[in-house]
Structure 1
Amino acid sequence: MVEMVGGHMPLARNIAVVVTLLAGARLQAADPEVQVDFNRDIRPILSTHCFQCHGPDAGKRQGELRLDTRDGAMAPRKGHRTIVAGQPGDSELFRRITAESADDRMPPEEAKKPLTKSQVELISRWIKQGAKWKEHWAWITPSRPALPSPPDYLDFVRTPVDRFLLERHYAEGLIPSSPANRVTLVRRAFLDLLGLPPTPEQVDTFVNDARPGAWKRLVDRLLTSPHYGERMAIYWLDVVRYADSNGYHSDEARQIAPYRDYVIKSFNNNLRFDRFVTEQLAGDLLPKADATQKVASGFNMLLQTTSEGGAQAKEYLAKYSADRVRNTSSIFLGVTLGCAQCHDHKYDPFTMSDFYRFGSFFADIKERGVGNPPSYPVRVGAIDESLTAVETRIAGLQKALVTTTPELTAAQAKWETTAEAEARQSVSLSPWSVIGPFPAANFEEAHAKAFPPQKEVDLKKAYDGLKWVAAAKFVDGKPHTLAGQNCATYLFRTITTKQPRKLVVSLGSDDSIKLWLNGSVSFEKKILRGVAPDQDKATLEPRRRREPPADEGGQRRRGIRVLLPHLAEFSAGPGAGGPEAARGQAQRRPEENDRRPLSPDCPGPEAGS
C-alpha cells in the first residue's frame, strides 16, 4: 500500500477497463510461451486422474507405474519412456491420454475421470517445456529471489514488494490502478490493521495532515493500537481452531481464554515467529518457563474433548493424539499428514507409521480421556496484582521468621527444656494387664471374632473362665511371645494426660494386631512377618473413657511400646541441644517452627520487609 492522492474514473469506464484487462489476462494464459508450473498446473491433474492407480499406494498400483515421483515417471519402461522431456510425441504418457482407442486411452472409461482438452494441452506444453519436476511445495527450501526490474511504471514502486507486484502485473497485461484518495487510504488502513472503520475525526486528521510522512505516521499509530493484535489474532486463532467450548456431546464451555490473550499480545509485541512457534509447541518444557510460556503451550489442548458418560478414556486419548498430529502438521508443516492416519498417504511421502511416530512427540502430555478440566491456574488483571502483593508480604514474614538472634537462640533453648519436661510429666501409663488366650477355629476367626474383652473391660471380672492378670513381664519396646495358636490375647493399660493431646504409639507384630482406644478401633493390620519394634505407628487422641486396646492372634510374638507426645519424639533429633546457629535452618526441628510465630523474641514482620 502506498501513499498517493488522486481522483477516480466514472463507474462505466472502470468496468470497461476491467473487462479489457481480464480478456488480456486470458490471452496471456493461453500463450504457449507462458511457463507451466508443475505444482500449480500438473500435479493436481495427476493427483485427481492418475494417482489412484499409479500413485504411492502399492496395493492398488497398476502396471508397476508410479506418477507421484520423478524417478517413477521418468524411468525407461520396456522399450519406451513414460515422459520424454521436450518430446510429447515420444512420451507414452501423452500417447495414452490422447489415444483414440478406448482400450489404450487413459484414464480408462471405468474410472469416470476423463481429462479435458485444456488439461491435455497443459500436459503437452509442460512436456514441451522440458517436463520440469518439482517436489511438493512444502519441501522446497525458500530462497530470496532477486529484485525484478519491470520496464514501465517504476514511479509506482515504493517498496521492494511493489517490484514483484509490478512485474506480475506486466506479465498479465495489467497496469497499476490510479492512486487512491486519502479518505480511501485511511479507511483501508483501519480496516486492514484494526478491523474497524475510522471515526470521522480520525479521517479528518489524516486528510488534513499536510506534513511529509503522514501515511507512515498513520500506519505506525495503528500498529501500536491494542486492537491491532486482536485483528491479527483472528486469523491465527482460526488456523489453530481456537474455541471456547469442547465441541463434543453437550459442548461445555472451556477455560482457555488466556491462550487467546497470549496470541493477541504476541502480535502487539511483535514476537519473533520462531519463539511464537516454540512457545506454543513446548513452552512448558522450556528452561525456567514463565507463566506466559506455559499458557502458550495451551495450543496442545485446542482440540475437541468429551465428558460424555460412558465414553472410553483410552479411545478418546487416541483421538486427541491424532487430532494434535493433524493440527500441528497442517499449521507448521503445511502438509496433510492427517491423511495417513488410516493408510499410507495417497500422494505425499508419508506412511501410516510416520503419522503415529509424529504423535509420539506429544505422548508426555498428561490429560484425562474423559472430562478434561483446566490444569494450569492463570492470574490476570487485578487478581494478579493483589496476589503478587500478598506473596511479597508473605516472603517478608517468612524471612523474619527464620531470622536468628542471640536472644531468640537463648529463649528457644529455655523453652525446649521446659516444654520437654512438662510433656514427660503430663502423661502417665498404668502397668499392662493381660487376658487370654481365647481360642478360635482358625486364624481368620481369631482376627475377626469379637471376644468378651472387646465389649467391656472389668479387670476384676472373669470372661469364659479367664481373668485379667498383671503383665509385669511386658516391657515396652521389646518383643514378647504369647501362648496358644489360632487364638486372641488382649492387653490393657490406662493412659492419663492432664489435657487433650496427640500420642504416637509404636507397634510390632508377626501376624494380626488390633488397637482400641475408648472402644473404637484406632489401628488394625493382618500380616505375616517377623516381629520387630517400631514396625507400625498409630496416633491416639485420649478422651475421658476407659476401653481396651487389644492384641489378637495365635502363637506369635508382639512388641508394643507407648511413646511420649509428638514433641518429645523430636527432642532427640539431629543437632538437639546444640546452638541454633550451628544447626541452621535446614536442621531446624518442627517444634521450633511451631514456637517462633508466638515468641515475643521473634523479630517482627518489618525485619523481613
Structure 2
Amino acid sequence: MNKKLMNIHERIRGEALRFRFSVCVRMVSLVCCLSMNTGPARADEAAPGPIDFNTHILPILSDRCFPCHGPDDRARKADLRLDHKDHAFAILKDSDGHAFVPSDPDRSIAWQRMQSEDSDERMPPPESNLSLSTKEKQQILQWINEGASWTEHWAFVPAVKSILPFEQENPLQENGHMIRHPIDAFVLSAMKDRDLDPTLRASKEYLIRRLSFDLTGLPPSPEEIDTFLADDSPTAYEQLIDRFLYSQAHAERLAMEWLDVARYADSQGMHGDRERYHWPWRDWVIKAFQQNMPYDAFITWQLAGDLLPNATREQILATAFNRNHPVSAEGGIIDEEFRIKYVQDRINTVGTAFMGLTLECASCHDHKFDPISQKDYYQLSAFFNNQNELGMVAEGGSSSGPVLLLPDPEKEHDLERLEEELEQAFEELEEVRIDWIV
C-alpha cells in the first residue's frame, strides 16, 4: 500500500515538474518575441486613429523630456524647452536645426535623437533611467507626420457647443432606441462605438430610487414612492425631478460639495481647534442653491458682496467665504506672518474654486506648469490684502477681524426700525446743536 502511494506521489511530482518546465518555456518564448518587437518605430506602425497632442504626446514629453527640457530653468539642459510651442519649433541654440519640424521627421532633431541607437546620442539618455516604448515612438512619429499639431491644454480652450452625433428630430430614433433628450444622443453614440446596446427601461421603482440618491443622497420615502407609482401622467418623471430639485435635501447635497471647495468648518482648524460660528454662511449657501441663485451673483456676493452699492446684510454675510480659512490663537506666532497666511489662503482658494488651478506654487516662484507667474500671484493678493484683521485671534475667539451681527429673523424688522429712529434722533440732535451754537 505504501509503495502504491509512493508511485502516485512520484507521478504527481513528475507532472508538476513538466508543467513548470512548460510554463518557463512559454514565458521565455514570450520574452523573446517581445524583445524582437522593441526596435525603432516604423512609419507603417502608426497608432490607430489621429494623434491628439494633449492625450498622446504631452504625457510623453512631460514624463520623459521635461526633467531636462521643461519649465525648471535650473535643471534645463542645452537651453531647450519642450514645454512651450514657440521653443519646441524654434531653431536650436547649438545647431541650425529644429527639435520638431511639422510633417518632416527626418529634419526633426529631437525625433532623430529619440530613435538613435547610439547611446551617446539617444534621448532620453541611458543615465536618466528613462526610455521610450515602441508605442510611444510610434505616436511621436505619427504626430510629426500628421503636422505636429500643438494644441493648448483643454482647460484653457474656450468651450464650444457640441454638435449632436445624430440628426436632430423629435422624437429621434437611433437603431430603434428613443432619444428623449440631447444627452441621450451622446450616450448612444458612445455606446455604439463600443458595440453596446442600452438595457431595458428601468421600472418606476428603480427610477425614483436612482433619482433620489442622485439628487438628494437619500433613499426616497414611502410616501414619495407611492405618489410616483400612482401618477400615470406622461410627465410624471419630469415632475418627480422638479420636486427633488426644489427640495431642501437637494440644496443641501449641492451645498456639501461647495462647502468642501470653500474649506468650510465649524472649528478654527489650528491651535485648540475651538468652535467658531460660521454656520450662518453655510445656511446662506444652502438657501442660494435652493433658490437657484444665478452663478454670477453667487460668485460676486461671496467674493465682494460687501463692496456692492447699498450692500444688504445677506450680501455681506456671503463674503464669509473669504473668512473660512483656519485661524490661530497660539501665543507664540508672529501676527503679521499669519495674517499673510490668511491672505494666501484666499488666493489659493479662489484659484481652485473658480479657476481650477493650484496657484500656491507661484507664491515662491513662477508656476512650473500653469501660466501663472510669481508676479501674477502677488498682484492677485492685493485684492485680499486690504482689510482690517489680525493674524492671531483672542483665545476662545472665533474671528481675526470684523464681525457681522445677525439678528433673529423675527427681530430683523424691529432692528431696522430702531436704526431708523436712531438715525432720525442724531439728525434732530445735530439741528439742536447748530441752533445752540448760533
Please report the RMSD computed on the Cα atoms of aligned residues, expressed in angstroms: 2.8
| TM-aligned CA deviation for residue 158 of structure 1 | 1.5
Q: 2: distance between equivalents of 1:93 and 1:177? A: 50
How big is the shift at 1:221?
0.8
User: In the alignment, is residue 379 of structure 1 matched against residue 396 of structure 2?
Assistant: no
CA distance in 1, matches of 2:371, 2:203: 50
Q: 1:128 aligns with which of 110, 128, 145?
A: 145
Deviation of 1:170 after TM superposition, in Å, equals 2.8
| Equivalent residue number for residue 40 of structure 2 | none
Q: Aligned residue for 1:226?
A: 248
Whichever residue aligns with residue 54 of structure 2, its letter is N
Structure 1 portions without partners, runs of 5+: 1-29, 403-582, 593-609
Judge conservation of contact 1:52–1:346 (CA < 8 Å) in 2: no
Separation in 1 of the partners of 2:180 and 2:233?
Answer: 18
1:158-557 equivalences under 5 Å are 158-371=180-393, 373-374=398-399, 375-379=402-406, 383-389=408-414, 391-392=416-417, 395=420
Using a 3 Å threshold, how does the CA distance of structure 1 residues 206 and 80 change in structure 2: closer, same or farther?
same
Deviation at 1:270, TM superposition (A): 0.8
In structure 2, the gaps of 5 or more residues are 1-44, 168-172
**CA shift in 2, pair 1:378/1:115, >3 Å:** farther
* 1:57 maps to 2:44: no
Partner of 1:535: none
Distance 1:263 1:153 in 2: 44
Query: CA, structure 1 residues 355+390, in 2 after alignment: closer, same or farther (shift >3 Å)?
Result: closer
What is the match of residue 148 of structure 1?
165
Corresponding residue number in structure 2 for 1:589? 433
8 Å Cα contact 1:343/1:351 also seen in 2: yes
Give the greater-gyration-radius structure (CA): 1
Distance 1:121 1:370, change over 3 A: farther
Does residue 70 of structure 2 align to residue 70 of structure 1?
no
Native 8 Å contact 1:66 1:72 kept in 2: yes
Q: Which residue of 1 aligns with 2:99?
A: 82
Structure 1 CA distance, aligned partners of 2:310 and 2:123? 61
Alpha-carbon separation, structure 2, partners of 1:396 and 1:304 = 39
| Alignment CA distance shift 1:395-1:317 (3 Å) | closer
Give the superposition deviation at 1:79: 3.8
Amino acid at match of 1:120: K
CA distance in 1, matches of 2:59, 2:377: 23
Identity of aligned residues (%): 39
Number of aligned positions between the proteins: 380
Structure 1 CA distance, aligned partners of 2:341 and 2:129? 35
2 CA distance for matches of 1:212 and 1:298? Answer: 45
Deviations 1:417-466 (A, max 9, x none): xxxxxxxxxxxxxxxxxxxxxxxxxxxxxxxxxxxxxxxxxxxxxxxxxx
Cα shift at 1:384? 2.6
Candidates 107, 111, 126, aligned match of 1:94: 111
Higher percent of residues as helix = 2
Q: Could you give the per-residue CA deviations for residues 78-133 of structure 1, whole angstroms, max 9, x where no partner exists?
A: 34322232344543233223332332222223333433444334333333333221
* Contact 1:51–1:347 (Cα < 8 Å) also in 2: no
Structure 1-normalised TM-score? Answer: 0.58
2:294 alignment partner AA:
R
CA distance in 1, matches of 2:46, 2:114: 22
CA distance in 2, matches of 1:316, 1:274: 31
CA shift, 1:229, in A, is 0.7
Q: Aligned equivalents of 1:379 and 1:362: distance in 2? A: 24
Q: Which residue of 2 aligns with 1:44?
A: 59
More strand by share: 1
- Paired letter, 2:76: R
Counterparts of 1:71 and 1:118 in 2: how far apart (Å)?
A: 26
- Shift of the 393–586 alpha-carbon distance from structure 1 to 2, 3 Å rule, reads closer
The 8 Å contact of residues 47 and 139 in structure 2, kept in 1 or not, is answered as no
Structure 1 residues 363, 32: closer, same or farther in 2, change over 3 A? same
1:326/1:337 contact within 8 Å kept: yes
Equivalent residue for 1:137? 154
TM-superposed CA distance for 1:161, in Å, is: 2.2
Query: TM-score, structure 2 length as denominator?
Result: 0.78
